[in-house]
């Protein structure tokens, strides 16, 4: 493939990728978490602050990134996804720049590496959602790109940018803190064990300085209110999720269940298995090679490989462990090693164009299987379709005024309608720990519990109440002795005005609510 043709294909992929993702984002089923992430952006856009004004169980940066975009598109989850698409497109661009820099004389590997990421079904599925994935994957790609530029040019500014990108990724999700630390450790290892790279102490220091600079937003929130910061980022998760010691619901030790989930994530997801195999081949080739273009990428392989191992180990800690913790986040870390695997296989078997084409065809087939057959990361139940959300939203809007209060057990309905929340219900996950907190802490941390729900129903504060989606939080959290009272008062004060499938929109019955 000539360089001119390579440039055409390169630009074509980078152009079509966001267009395809944008189209897919309009039809992809909603993810339940999107409701509270989008709500956080809306609240920040209105001048509120995470932790201080509303419950938000993640690091604080994402709402500030999406808030300006919310002001442009308004209360629409599907439109909010377009920012995620733009972040994904930027990540692919950075990856493409890395490939052109390192494999520009071998066009097939540039195209192959670019499509290996573009076809990744886990990035396609998760990166279009209003969740942390688009931003964190962008942060990982940016960090790898910058550190490789640092290895290539020896300029300190690139190591500074690599650390900065890693730190900002932690500001999105605390789960990435060990990964960010692994960048610093990998650089120390490269300096110690690979002296031919010529990595200076200043380069390592620049990466550390960048990391600290990137963590400034987190430090600001931590120092402003340590108690709220620690509750939202640590204590909430400790209360909600189980430790790994002991046994789960089926008598299986939790640590074994976590390892089994990891095995399923890496081995039973076809495209992930392809990436893992290529990455292992790539890592082995780097270890064998002492000279040549492959050896020049050994420092980046150390950074990416150590990051993948560290992130995998960290993701085994929460219980339950979800496959999405591994599939999408590991993809950027495995990508450099996977391309090196392609290079090594081509060297061994010859005919690189045929080999890369074959791998890409296999990848395309596996991607279709993951997205269309296995529905990776997607629940195609009617309640999570964008069309169904539009119908529920229309039912809410036709029965309320713009400043009306709406009580919903999935925050996405209130976000989409642009109505006001019952205090403490801005995040539907709050109910998951509400009954483990005394009333004063529920108020302090903006967590609604049975007292707030009962008061809202008795006083008829909500104009409408939406039942159906995400009811398992209240059904499994509230003591069973309290549920009959809530249901009785709900029946006394509200009646069903609209219903579609499992979702019901209830309005007040005639008469005033109690004055409490």
- Contact between residue 427 and residue 412 where contact means Cβ atoms under 8 Å apart: no
Choose the weakest-confidence range: 2-16, 66-80, 387-401.
2-16
Q: What is the pLDDT of residues 272-328, one digit of tens each?
A: 999 999 999 999 998 887 666 677 888 999 999 999 999 999 988 876 778 888 889
β-partners of residue 508 are: 494
β-partners of residue 405 are: 420
Using pLDDT thresholds of 50, 70 and 90, give the confidence band for residue 105: confident
Q: What is the pLDDT of residues 335-380, one digit of tens each?
A: 999 999 999 999 888 788 889 999 999 999 999 999 988 888 898 8
- Contact between residue 169 and residue 139 where contact means Cβ atoms under 8 Å apart: yes
Q: Residue 470: what pLDDT? A: 86
Using CA atoms, how far residue 207 sits from 91, 181, 272, 304, 400, in Å, is 20, 10, 30, 15, 53
Half-sphere exposure of 359 (CA within 13 A, CB side): 27
pLDDT at 500 over 60: yes
β-partners of residue 54 are: 50
Q: Residue 291: what pLDDT? A: 65
Higher pLDDT, 244 or 442: 442
Q: Could you give the CA distance from residue 114 to residue 14 in angstroms, rounded to a whole number?
A: 9
pLDDT at 430 over 80: yes
pLDDT at 502 over 80: yes
Using CA atoms, how far residue 433 sits from 232, 389, 481, in Å, is 11, 27, 17
What is the mean pLDDT of the segment spanning 100-126? 93
pLDDT at 85 over 90: yes
Q: Residue 319: what pLDDT? A: 65
Q: Residue 243: what pLDDT? A: 55
């Amino acid at each position: 493939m000539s360089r001119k043709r390579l440039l055409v294909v390169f630009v074509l992929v980078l152009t079509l990728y966001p267009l395809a993702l944008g189209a897919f984002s309009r039809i992809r089923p909603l993810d339940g978490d999107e409701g509270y992430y989008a709500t956080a952006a809306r609240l920040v856009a209105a001048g509120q602050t995470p932790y201080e004004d509303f419950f938000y169980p993640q690091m604080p940066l994402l709402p500030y990134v999406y808030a300006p975009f919310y002001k442009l598109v308004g209360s629409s989850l599907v439109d909010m996804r377009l920012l995620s698409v733009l972040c994904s497109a930027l990540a692919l661009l950075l990856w493409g720049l890395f490939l052109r820099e390192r494999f520009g004389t071998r066009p097939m590997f540039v195209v192959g590496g670019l499509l290996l990421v573009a076809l990744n079904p886990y990035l396609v599925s998760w990166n279009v959602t209003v969740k942390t994935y688009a931003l964190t994957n962008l942060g990982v790609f940016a960090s790898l790109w910058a550190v490789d530029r640092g290895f290539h040019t020896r300029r300190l500014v690139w190591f500074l940018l690599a650390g900065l990108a890693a730190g900002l990724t932690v500001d999105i999700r605390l789960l990435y803190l060990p990964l960010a630390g692994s960048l610093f450790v990998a650089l120390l290892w490269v300096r110690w064990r690979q002296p031919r790279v010529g990595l200076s102490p200043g380069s390592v220091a620049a990466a550390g300085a960048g990391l600290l600079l990137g963590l400034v937003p987190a430090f600001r929130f931590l120092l402003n209110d340590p108690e709220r910061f620690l509750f939202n980022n640590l204590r909430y998760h400790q209360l909600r999720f189980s430790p790994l010691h002991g046994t789960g619901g089926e008598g299986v030790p939790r640590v074994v269940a976590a390892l089994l989930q990891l095995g399923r994530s890496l081995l039973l997801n076809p495209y992930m298995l392809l990436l893992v195999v290529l990455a292992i081949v790539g890592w082995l080739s780097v270890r064998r090679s002492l000279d040549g273009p492959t050896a020049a990428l050994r420092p980046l392989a150390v950074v990416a490989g150590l990051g993948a191992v560290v992130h995998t180990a960290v993701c085994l800690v929460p219980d339950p462990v979800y496959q999405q913790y591994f599939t999408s986040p590991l993809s950027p870390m495995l990508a450099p090693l996977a391309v090196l695997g392609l290079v090594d296989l081509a060297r061994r078997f010859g005919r690189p164009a045929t080999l890369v084409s074959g791998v890409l065809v296999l990848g395309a087939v596996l991607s279709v299987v993951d997205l269309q057959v296995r529905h990776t990361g997607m629940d195609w139940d009617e309640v999570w379709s964008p069309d169904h959300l539009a119908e529920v939203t229309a039912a809410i809007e036709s029965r309320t005024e713009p400043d009306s209060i709406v009580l919903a057990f999935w925050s996405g309905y209130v976000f989409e309608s642009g109505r006001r929340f019952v205090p403490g219900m801005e995040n539907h996950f709050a109910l998951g720990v509400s009954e483990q907190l005394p009333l004063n802490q529920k108020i302090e941390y903006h967590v609604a519990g049975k007292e707030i729900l009962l008061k809202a129903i008795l006083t008829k504060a909500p104009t409408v109440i939406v039942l159906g989606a995400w009811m398992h939080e209240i059904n499994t959290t509230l003591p069973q002795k309290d549920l009959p009272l809530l249901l009785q008062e709900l029946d006394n004060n509200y009646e069903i005005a609209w219903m579609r499938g499992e979702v019901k929109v209830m309005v007040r019955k005639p008469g005033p609510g109690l004055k409490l």
